[in-house]
């Protein structure tokens, strides 16, 4: 057995103590340290593989806690309809998110992941959540304060399910209603869109006084990181074709499509999502001049830039035809986090190879990772990575449903009311002998809610979530003595023989999202026109159009005594 002198033993003990003390104190885990110090310390400890992992976001359907640990993935998301299981409760969501988070925290450096979801009109993926009007309806309200309150309510419901990141708001300026995402736009007027960026402080909280421009801000565990999208010009594509080319000079781009990004950055938006579309033939996912040169350098945005769903794949046509080039172009353009919902190992391997072969400099990787970490530190994810059940009662709360009803009232647009101002048809008296309610949208919660509700493209029927159909609302509103008769598409003989005091016809567009909603003719879905003619010919009638944009109504206008546009396809009536 070896023998040690007393001084040597003492030195050995002191050395061990010093090592243990150093191991116990890690700067990036110290919330008292400045954010930049924490970022620098953490990045100094990260391998290339861990950095690229942080730049990767995958869909929950492909994730396990072990995958989160193995690849040190920076983010997960739920795409439209990607849920733990049908009719999952808030508790189910929290448990799922925490399971993934435990995987991230067990990785070598324990960097928490950030979970994102498309909460674009309320927490719309989630069963029994409050559904608010889509943006086109909120734009009709002209009430930024209301929009801010909706943002705050949405943040509470998103946090109730353990999720800290919402891909909202869409601040596109829809210049052509044929675009299938027009209902995601607040207005064709950029000034209205700018005003409605108040959703951001609603979601994230008001930035503290004196905060530097462009720095992301999230005000605690009841708030979520927001995402301004889709950068830039997505609402101005030729013929309104989704993901198409926006042909406009730089002055037009900056004066129409860019202004809301100025407001978003000033309000501390945490992330910006890049558009699928092109500007004058250049794919936005590959546009370094705008993503890095303008957004990051000129506007001094310091949050992170995220791609859209498989967005870098679509840099080429057909998509994914030259993936190495797409990764090179997207990362070089300045995209920091890549949404690769499915084939994430291909992305990780491709980007790793590009860096090791010096096609992409480490400075670009470090810029991306530092931005991602800045948002995570700002959100407090390192201090509070795990979700809890303290907010589950906020999901679909009565207070939020009352707020949604307020938004419905303010979003409705009265386009016709009787033959003259002296003889208005509305409001209808509550006490009438007999009312006919008709139309494809009168007793269909899915049609009322539209796209981006439970499923990406929306649903048909009344079993998708909790809510009140227009038929049910009318029955609840009239006098008990009033008989309410419902017929989805009555023929003219039925209407003539029914001795109705009034008819209420609710028709419009069927649910859609994105490219599936592109329309060349902007017509009301069949049999809506027939229902209008059959009902409004024989009796006085009110027509409610449930749509996500202007639709052709002129041929049927003479039949109507009153006409109401339920902006944003009446999604807000999912209460």
Q: What angle do CA 38, 41, 43 make, to 5 degrees?
A: 105
Closest CA to 224 of 270, 265, 171, 183: 270
Closest CA to 254 of 309, 199, 312, 293: 293
Closest CA to 171 of 157, 179, 156, 181: 181
Q: What single DSSP character describes residue 561?
A: S
Q: How far, in Å, CA of 546 to CA of 359, rounded?
A: 51
Whether 143 is catalytic: no
Whether 24 is catalytic: no
Catalytic residue among 157, 188, 514, 571: 514
Contact at 8 Å (CB) between 246 and 236?
yes
Residues 6 or more apart in contact with residue 335 via CB below 8 angstroms: 274, 285, 291, 305, 306, 307, 311, 312, 368
Which two three-digit tokens encode residue 487? 């017929």
Closest CA to 349 of 319, 327, 318, 333: 327
Which contiguous run of DSSP H or E holds residue 562? Answer: strand 562-566
Question: What 3-state class would DSSP assign to 351?
Answer: helix
Q: How far, in Å, CA of 75 to CA of 218, rounded?
A: 17
Catalytic residue among 184, 308, 313, 518: 308
Torsion of CA 297, 299, 304, 306, to 10 degrees: -100
Cβ neighbourhood burial of 486 (10 Å; 0-12, 13-18, 19+): middle
Q: How far, in Å, CA of 351 to CA of 339, rounded?
A: 14
Q: Annotated catalytic sites, by residue?
A: 308, 514
């Amino acid at each position: 057995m070896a023998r040690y002198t007393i001084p040597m033993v003492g030195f050995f003990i002191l050395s061990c103590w010093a090592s243990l003390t150093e191991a116990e104190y890690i700067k990036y885990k110290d919330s008292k340290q400045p954010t930049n110090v924490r970022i620098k310390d953490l990045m100094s400890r990260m391998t290339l593989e861990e950095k690229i992992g942080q730049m990767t976001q995958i869909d929950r359907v492909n994730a396990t806690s072990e995958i989160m640990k193995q690849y040190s993935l920076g983010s997960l998301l739920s795409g439209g309809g990607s849920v733990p299981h049908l009719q999952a409760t808030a508790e189910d969501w929290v448990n799922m998110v925490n399971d993934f988070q435990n995987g991230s925290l067990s990785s070598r450096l324990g960097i928490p992941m950030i979970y994102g979801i498309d909460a674009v009109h309320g927490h719309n993926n989630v069963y029994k959540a409050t559904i608010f009007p889509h943006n086109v309806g909120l734009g009709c309200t002209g009430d930024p304060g209301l929009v801010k309150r909706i943002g705050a309510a949405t943040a509470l419901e998103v946090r109730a399910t353990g999720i800290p990141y919402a891909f909202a708001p869409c601040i596109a300026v829809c210049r052509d209603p044929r675009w299938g995402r027009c209902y995601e736009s607040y207005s064709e007027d950029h000034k209205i869109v700018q005003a409605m960026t108040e959703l951001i402080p609603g979601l994230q909280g008001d930035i503290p006084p004196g905060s530097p421009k462009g720095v992301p801000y999230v005000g605690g565990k009841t708030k979520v990181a927001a995402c301004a999208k889709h950068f830039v010009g997505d609402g101005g594509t030729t013929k309104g074709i989704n993901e198409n080319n926006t042909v406009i000079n730089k002055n037009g781009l900056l004066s129409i499509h860019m202004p809301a990004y100025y407001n978003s950055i000033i309000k501390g938006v945490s992330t910006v999502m890049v558009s699928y579309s092109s500007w004058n033939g250049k794919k936005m996912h590959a546009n370094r001049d705008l993503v890095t040169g303008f957004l990051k350098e000129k506007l001094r945005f310091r949050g992170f830039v995220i791609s859209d769903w498989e967005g870098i794949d679509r840099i080429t046509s057909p998509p994914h035809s030259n993936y190495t080039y797409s990764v090179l172009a997207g990362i070089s353009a300045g995209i920091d986090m890549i949404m690769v919902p499915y084939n994430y190992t291909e992305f990780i391997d491709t980007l790793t190879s590009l860096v090791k072969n010096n096609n992409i400099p480490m400075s670009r990787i470090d810029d991306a990772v530092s931005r991602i970490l800045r948002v995570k530190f700002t959100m407090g994810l390192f201090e509070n990575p795990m979700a809890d059940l303290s907010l589950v009662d906020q999901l679909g709360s009565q207070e939020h449903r009352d707020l949604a009803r307020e938004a419905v009232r303010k979003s409705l647009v009265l386009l016709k009311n009787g033959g003259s101002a002296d003889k208005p048809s509305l409001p209808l008296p509550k006490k009438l002998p007999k009312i006919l309610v008709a139309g494809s949208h009168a007793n269909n919660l899915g049609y009322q809610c539209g796209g981006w509700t439970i499923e990406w493209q929306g649903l048909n029927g009344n079993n998708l979530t909790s809510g009140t159909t227009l038929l049910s609302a009318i029955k609840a509103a009239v006098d008990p003595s009033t008989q309410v008769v419902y017929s989805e598409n009555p023929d003219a003989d039925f209407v003539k023989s029914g001795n109705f005091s009034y008819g209420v016809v609710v028709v419009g567009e069927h649910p859609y999202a994105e490219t599936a909603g592109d329309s060349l003719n902007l017509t009301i879905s069949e049999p809506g026109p027939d229902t209008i003619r059959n009902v409004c010919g024989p009796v006085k009638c009110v027509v409610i159009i449930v749509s996500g944009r202007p639709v052709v109504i002129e041929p049927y206008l003479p039949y109507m005594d009153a006409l109401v546009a339920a902006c944003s396809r009446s999604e807000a009536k999912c209460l």
